[in-house]
């Protein structure tokens, strides 16, 4: 991939070349593994799901946008629920599982799941009349959810580490510092810590957008981290924008491209990056990622599961339209970060 440097006012770098996914990734032949045709209630777009192994099953919570009104407008968004015995074939429950709407809240979306000490925690984004907030809830049955904390605006893409580190819960997150970044989308990945999941602090920067060669726009967490002997392995989403791109997807102008990267963080000191993939792990390439979708050229991982045989399942939303699965071997993912 060639980076073309430009003056610092417009874009710092323009990324024109075609991106390709790492050869260590295999897209599942059943892709898309979940789409609106599997949903027994109103549904147009099924994507950006969180996935975990919980109580002996795979569980998926997915974003469902329904009733397409016009261009990018949908009547609503809810969070659907599905279970699976193999992580590939899903049994979608007959109604959505989490609805936060009230006068202030427009919708909750993009859920992420992390099991900690036998309980399932769900991070989610919330569009409110006064900005975008990041929420954390806990559930034992996907019927009752207890909301534990909500950030101030604007923050989202929160993901939790699966255990306490140095006696604190830890999350990755993506605030939106628009004013202080010249009004541009130049957003980075941060981390904060909590003694109790409710009060969060000790914030620190983990990865700046300028450190990702395949992003000139914004980055943020993707699937929650998994623990490996070498460190915490975690995906992130990386966006590049090219103002020469024309119509792309259902919107008049969709000039962004979302790819997925991966990095390895220190086990005891997760602010420390041990290695990062220099090229995208998954880039939008195949038909369900680049054609016919709502917003094409979008890869957005939301779930990552390490199996006993070393296979890693990476679940990702494609083109903001369908949910997909890619697999890789854990050793190859670690090598890619440490190369
Ligand atoms: C982001 C979020 C995601 C979405 C992505 C691409 O800002 O809204 O839910 O997948 O844009 O449209």
Chain segment 202-250, per-residue pLDDT in tens: 999 999 999 999 999 999 999 999 999 999 999 999 999 988 887 677 7
pLDDT band at 1 (very low <50, low <70, confident <90, very high): low
Q: CA separation (Å) from 321 to 106, 253, 295, 313? A: 20, 17, 8, 20
Instruction: Please report, for residues 188, 228, 272, 306, 331, the alpha-carbon distance to residue 87 in angstroms, rounded to integers and kept in the order given.
Output: 31, 20, 31, 12, 21
The residue ranges of every structural domain in the chain are 8-338
pLDDT band at 181 (very low <50, low <70, confident <90, very high): confident
Residue 9's pLDDT band (cuts 50, 70, 90): very low
Q: What atom in ligand 1 is closest to the CA of residue 125?
A: 9
Q: Is 48 in the pocket of ligand 1 (CB under 6 A)?
A: yes
Q: Is 298 in the pocket of ligand 1 (CB under 6 A)?
A: yes
Cα 72 to averaged position of ligand 1 atoms, centre (Å): 12
Distance 310 CA to ligand 1 centre (A): 30
pLDDT grade for 183, boundaries at 50, 70 and 90: confident
Given a cut of 80, whether residue 251 has pLDDT beyond it is no
pLDDT digits (tens, 9 = 90+) for 138-166: 999 999 999 999 999 999 999 999 999 99
* Ligand 1 midpoint to CA 256 (Å): 10
Give me the sheet containing 45-54, strands edge to edge. Answer: 45-54, 57-70, 73-84, 91-92
pLDDT in tens, 296-313: 999 999 999 999 999 999
Please tell me the predicted confidence (pLDDT) of residue 70: 80
The first and second tokens of residue 298, run together, are 């979008």
pLDDT averaged over every residue in the chain? 94
On the question of pLDDT at 14 being above 80, the answer is no
DSSP-assigned letters across all residues of 194-219: ESSSSS-EEEEEEE-GGG-TT-SSEE
Condensed to tens digits (0 to 9), the pLDDT of residues 276-288 reads 999 999 999 999 9
Cis peptide before 32 (omega within 30 of 0): yes
The class of domain 8-338 in CATH terms is mainly beta
pTM for this predicted structure: 0.95
């Amino acid at each position: 991939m060639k980076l073309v440097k430009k003056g610092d006012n417009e874009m710092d770098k323009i990324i024109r070349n075609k991106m390709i996914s790492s050869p260590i990734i295999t897209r599942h032949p059943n892709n898309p593994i979940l789409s609106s045709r599997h949903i027994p209630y109103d549904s147009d777009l099924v994507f950006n799901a969180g996935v975990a192994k919980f109580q002996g099953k795979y569980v998926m919570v997915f974003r469902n946008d329904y009733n397409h009104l016009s261009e990018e407008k949908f009547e609503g968004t809810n969070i659907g629920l599905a279970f699976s015995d193999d992580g590939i074939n899903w049994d979608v429950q007959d109604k959505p599982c989490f609805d936060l709407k009230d006068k202030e809240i427009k919708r909750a979306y993009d859920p992420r799941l992390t099991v900690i000490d036998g309980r399932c925690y769900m991070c989610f984004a919330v569009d409110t009349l006064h900005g975008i907030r990041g929420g954390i809830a806990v559930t034992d049955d996907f019927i009752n959810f207890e909301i534990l904390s909500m950030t101030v605006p604007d923050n989202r893409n929160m993901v939790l580490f699966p255990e306490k580190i140095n006696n604190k819960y830890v999350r990755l997150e993506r605030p939106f510092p628009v004013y202080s970044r010249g009004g541009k989308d130049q957003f980075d990945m941060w981390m904060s810590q909590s003694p109790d999941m409710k009060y969060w602090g000790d914030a620190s920067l983990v990865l700046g957008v300028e450190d990702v060669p395949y992003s000139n726009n914004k980055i943020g967490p993707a699937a929650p981290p998994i623990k490996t002997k070498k460190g915490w392995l975690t995906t992130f989403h990386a966006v590049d924008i090219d103002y020469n791109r024309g119509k792309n997807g259902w919107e008049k102008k969709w000039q962004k491209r979302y790819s997925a990267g991966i990095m390895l963080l220190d086990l005891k000191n997760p602010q420390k990056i041990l290695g990062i993939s220099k090229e995208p792990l998954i880039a939008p390439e195949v038909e369900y990622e680049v054609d016919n979708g709502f917003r094409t050229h979008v890869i957005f991982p939301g779930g990552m599961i390490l199996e006993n045989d070393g296979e890693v399942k990476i679940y990702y939303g494609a083109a903001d339209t369908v949910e997909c699965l890619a697999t890789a071997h854990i050793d190859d993912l670690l090598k890619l970060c440490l190369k």
